[in-house]
Structure 1
Amino acid sequence: MTKIGVFDSGIGGLSVLNEALRQFPGHEYIYLADSANAPYGERPDEWITNRSLKLCTWLIEKQHCEAIVVACNTATAQAIAIIREHFSNTPIIGVEPGIKPAAAISPKKKIGVLATQSTLSSEKFKHLLDSLVGDCQFISQAGVGLVPLIERGDLNDPELEKLITDYVQKVLDFGADTLVLGCTHYPFLIPIINKNFGDQLHLIDTSSAIIQQLGRKAQIEPRKGATEVKLFSTGDSNLILKQTNQLIQALNPTIQINASSIII
């Protein structure tokens, strides 16, 4: 059994954790939500870097995690290089907007990228765009205000639906046929997008590829036996437990999940 740490600014990384449980059952997972400080997308770069390093230090040194998934696009964009340098003996898996798979499937080669402003402004994202060879056109749309609303836990909030539909409409007005969900919080919004826009857009969520990379880097495989999940939140542990039960236990009813509030 391998102990795997997953952290995000809040509940968004649960979409990545869910995929890890699907691909690699039988391991122990520690999920850390820095909900007291969410969202990261509007924080200064230096703050994001220092905070991400501190959370990884807690996961590795206090919880003895053997591999880490930085399940936050903003933290990956700003801090992944420093985290890997600091913990060079630990596999550190980051996330990034799936613009490469989007470019491969977009019929019209017009692609929208919905992400936090911090991710869209980062050098890592700029290098990712520059690495693509071809005639694709991209429109970057900052999802300002989405993460705090998702963190409230009410995905039926009319304010949340209005905000995401406004952002998606801007992408459609550009002529895009594909939308990259460039924040791990955003897969929670797929039902709303589908309800309002049907099949007008191909939606790209890179959770599967992230966890495949975890398997390669950490050399883990699916195991028989119990899967252990422990959740820690710097905010309201009851909220993250509620969201986790909705997202994960509906698909994996045998998994027992406990949540605790902590100060880091």
Structure 2
Amino acid sequence: MIPTHPFPTPADAPIGVFDSGVGGLSVLRHIRALLPDEHLIYLADSAWAPYGGKPEEVIAERSLAIAAFLVRQGAKALVVACNTATVAAIKAVRAHFPELPIVGVEPGLKPAAAATRSGKVGVLATQRTLAGEKFLLLRDQVALASKAEFLLQPCVGLVDRIELGELDTEATRAMLERYIAPLLAGGADTLVLGCTHYPFVRPAIEDVIAGLGARDVALIDTGDAVARQLARLLEGSGLQRPGSVGHPPLLHGYTTGGVDALLPAFRKLLGMEADVETLKI
């Protein structure tokens, strides 16, 4: 279990990470690799997953409720490990908790624009992310600065398959081919994984790309950038936990769905063991 709040020092408090389901574990993996001494709390809002097709006000309401729960658990920082929730709610979360370092995720349009050779970038994301004002503003800004063209592809149903653990089935590959083929045909040589769930099907994506006869297609995942930004904010606030203090770093999971979905996800997707419990928010 994560230590009971209050913690011995502010730096010893945990980092709260949340997503609509298991996708944010791809971000948690980068956080654990870069900040191995930190206590982590992960919350999967699986009862409300996926967020991609839900109204923005619903996603904002859920995100605020989850953030408030994590703050009550003593979180010293929050990571909104969901592209859709970042688009819909991070402004409100920051307004409600101005004292906390808060990091969101956004599709890696800037690194993709720098990586492309053809000048065309495919963006794989949920419908809600691609329709969000924050995303569209970022797209326009990056396109203007870089002259890159962004080809947007909503991936309806892909999050559901990943939540079910169908990472490399024939149905998942067929879905990926349906979404990726038009982007490659349109000249994209760089694909943005614009949802935190998608890195877990990266091997299948790479196989689909190879099967379509494409070469040298770059895949952009921003999980590492999120972890590095979190580290900068913690260091700047004096909140980074020293490795020499107290007991070893702990990992605790919560889910609004079933433990039988999140617990195996920690093991299968991350190779980590964690205490997991259900809650209602």
Determine if the alignment matches structure 1 residue 223 to structure 2 residue 243: yes
Structure 1 residue ranges, 4+ long, deviating more than 3 angstroms after superposition: none
SS in 1 for 2:192: strand
Superposition pairs of residues 243-254 of structure 1, within 5 angstroms: 243-249=265-271
State the AA in 2 paired with 1:31. Y
Query: Number of matched residues?
Result: 258
Measure, in 2, the Cα distance between the counterparts of 1:134 and 1:82.
30
Measure, in 2, the Cα distance between the counterparts of 1:180 and 1:221.
32
Partner of 1:202: 218
Q: Unmatched 5+ residue regions in structure 2?
A: 1-11
Measure, in 2, the Cα distance between the counterparts of 1:186 and 1:123.
22
C-alpha contact (below 8 Å) 1:24/1:222 kept by paired residues:
no
1:46 to 57, 67, 74: 57
SS in 1 for 2:274: strand
Name the CA shift for 1:222/1:20 in 2 (closer, same or farther; >3 Å).
Answer: farther
Q: C-alpha displacement at 1:260, in angstroms?
A: 1.1
Determine if the alignment matches structure 1 residue 188 to structure 2 residue 200: yes
Determine if the alignment matches structure 1 residue 36 to structure 2 residue 47: yes
Determine if the alignment matches structure 1 residue 232 to structure 2 residue 254: yes
State the AA in 2 paired with 1:101. P
Deviations 1:117-164 (A, max 9, x none): 111011100110122202211100001010111111122332221111
C-alpha contact (below 8 Å) 1:238/1:259 kept by paired residues:
no
Partner of 1:23: 34
Name the CA shift for 1:223/1:109 in 2 (closer, same or farther; >3 Å).
Answer: farther
C-alpha contact (below 8 Å) 2:267/2:273 kept by paired residues:
no
Name the CA shift for 1:256/1:148 in 2 (closer, same or farther; >3 Å).
Answer: closer
Partner of 2:275: 258
Name the CA shift for 1:229/1:160 in 2 (closer, same or farther; >3 Å).
Answer: same
SS in 2 for 1:36: helix
Q: Unmatched 5+ residue regions in structure 1?
A: 250-254
Structure of greater Rg: 2
The TM-score with structure 1 as length reference comes to 0.94
Name the CA shift for 1:180/1:127 in 2 (closer, same or farther; >3 Å).
Answer: same
Superposition pairs of residues 84-163 of structure 1, within 5 angstroms: 84-132=94-142, 133-163=145-175
SS in 2 for 1:12: coil
Q: C-alpha displacement at 1:195, in angstroms?
A: 1.5
C-alpha contact (below 8 Å) 1:18/1:247 kept by paired residues:
no
Measure, in 1, the Cα distance between the counterparts of 2:254 and 2:228.
24
Q: C-alpha displacement at 1:248, in angstroms?
A: 1.8
Q: C-alpha displacement at 1:189, in angstroms?
A: 1.1
Deviations 1:223-247 (A, max 9, x none): 3562211011111112111111112
Measure, in 2, the Cα distance between the counterparts of 1:223 and 1:213.
19
Partner of 1:252: none
C-alpha contact (below 8 Å) 1:215/1:221 kept by paired residues:
no
**Cα root mean square deviation, aligned:** 1.3
Q: C-alpha displacement at 1:200, in angstroms?
A: 4.3
Partner of 2:6: none
SS in 2 for 1:7: strand
Q: C-alpha displacement at 1:17, in angstroms?
A: 0.3
Measure, in 2, the Cα distance between the counterparts of 1:68 and 1:204.
23
Measure, in 2, the Cα distance between the counterparts of 1:101 and 1:28.
30
Deviations 1:11-61 (A, max 9, x none): 000000011000001111000000011000000111011111000000002
SS in 2 for 1:131: helix
SS in 2 for 1:187: helix
